[in-house]
Amino acid sequence: MEVAVEKRRELSDFRRDINRERRRLFVRRFFSNKLTVTGSVIILLTLLVTLLGPLLSSYTPYEMVVTSRLKAPSADHLFGTDNLGRDLFARVVYGARASMGVGLSVAIITSVLGMIIGLYSAYYKVLDHVLMRICDGLMAFPAILLAIALMAALGTKIDNVIIALAAVFTPYVARVVRSAALVVREQTYIEAMKAQGASSMRIIWGHIAPNTLSPLIVYSTFIFADAIIIEAGLSFLGVGVPAPDPSWGNILFDGKLVIFNAWWMTFFPGVAIILSVLGLNLFGDGLRDLLDPHTNHAKK
């Protein structure tokens, strides 16, 4: 009796040690990769700017000063002013809310929907055929084109940008989750659980779902990045976030009209897009190498 308890304690200690060791190794490897760390720092800074935006600027992004239109960057206006005399720094900082907000919302929504669709198609064969054909059909559209078409149908509004992008990207996420789930589903222990009468709910969410998390997290980082790019594209085309609310894309739209005399209107929002997307891609790349060193190193 004593011995059994002792044994069990040893075993749980051992398990805890292993887990701690694993976490330590993960953290160490994470920080040993300079690119991943750079990526995380960039993302954290961008998120910080997004949240603290109003505190950083003494101007509001909407206040038009007719006398100070198209002023070049100076101490007064750090990034200069736009064609309507609005402070560009304030607009870029507030624009982060729209751009990062859309990106993050799309990443979260597609993860949830993609996970549900992916898990259930992996588990139920008939459902799989139907859902995957629909996914194939949606994936047959080039992403930006489907986004434009959906925006044309839904109307330009920031909520609709999120809906359109979620519709565009969910099939890709569902595919990733499904293929990870299929691997688990084929394992013998899942068959054994079924034979023992475990509910499908418990098998799907208790045993299959956790195994799809790491590819899902990596993939949603890339979706986050791609959503920022496509939102910028839509807003740049005038079918995304509508004026006067700033987003990096629609600042570029304004900037294009005055590209001959106001380079800063293109440069600053442009750099904001590149930095945030690069940060996410670096982070995602590093995370993938950490979580699954065997995957292809090309993106997607």
Partner 1 sequence: MKSYILKRILSLIPVLLIVSIVVFMIIHLTPGDPAAVILGPEASHEDVKQLQEELGLNDPVYQQYFHWVEGVFQGNLGDSFFMDKPVTEAILEHLGPTISLAILSQITAILIALPLGIMAARKRGTATDQTFMGLSLLGISIPHFLFGLFLIIILAINLRWLPVAGYKPLSAGFWEHIKYLIMPAIALGTGQAALIARMTRSSMVETLNLNFIKTARSKGLHERKVIYKHTLRNAFIPILTVIGQTFGTLVAGAAVTETVFNIPGIGQLIINSVERRDYMVIQGTVLMVTLTYVLINLLVDLLYGVIDPRVRLKKES
List contacts with partner 1 (CB under 8 A). 35, 133-134, 136-138, 140-146, 148-155, 225, 229, 232-233, 236-239, 252, 255-256, 259-260, 263, 266-267, 270, 273-274, 277-278, 281-282, 285, 296-299
Alpha-carbon Rg for the chain in angstroms: 24
If the CB atoms of residues 115 and 229 are measured against partner 1, the closer one turns out to be: 229
If the CB atoms of residues 204 and 240 are measured against partner 1, the closer one turns out to be: 240
> Is residue 182 packed enough to be buried (19+ CB in 10 Å), middle (13-18) or exposed (0-12)?
middle
Q: Which of 24, 104, 35 is nearest to 286 (CA)?
A: 35
- The Cβ of residue 1 has, within 10 Å, a number of other Cβ atoms equal to 5
Q: How far is the CB of 221 from partner 1 (least distance, A)?
A: 12
CA distances from 300 to 8, 13, 33, 36 (A): 44, 40, 21, 18
- The Cβ of residue 52 has, within 10 Å, a number of other Cβ atoms equal to 10
Q: Which residues pair with 87 in a beta bridge?
A: 81
Task: Confirm if 60 and 90 have CB atoms less than 8 A apart.
Answer: yes
Q: How far is the CB of 297 from partner 1 (least distance, A)?
A: 4
Q: How far is the CB of 156 from partner 1 (least distance, A)?
A: 9
Rounded Cα–Cα distance for residues 166 and 162 (Å): 6
Q: How far is the CB of 140 from partner 1 (least distance, A)?
A: 5
Q: How far is the CB of 122 from partner 1 (least distance, A)?
A: 19
Hey, what amino acid is at 98? A
Task: Confirm if 88 and 81 have CB atoms less than 8 A apart.
Answer: yes
Query: For residue 253, what are its two tokens?
Result: 């739209």
If the CB atoms of residues 16 and 157 are measured against partner 1, the closer one turns out to be: 157
Q: Which of 69, 98, 46 is nearest to 246 (CA)?
A: 98
> Residue 296: which residues within 8 A CB-CB, separation 6 or more?
none
Q: How far is the CB of 162 from partner 1 (least distance, A)?
A: 15
> Residue 100: which residues within 8 A CB-CB, separation 6 or more?
46, 47, 50, 228, 276
Q: How far is the CB of 248 from partner 1 (least distance, A)?
A: 9
Q: How far is the CB of 192 from partner 1 (least distance, A)?
A: 34
If the CB atoms of residues 61 and 279 are measured against partner 1, the closer one turns out to be: 279
Give start and end residues of each alpha helix (H) in 57-157: 88-123, 125-139, 143-154
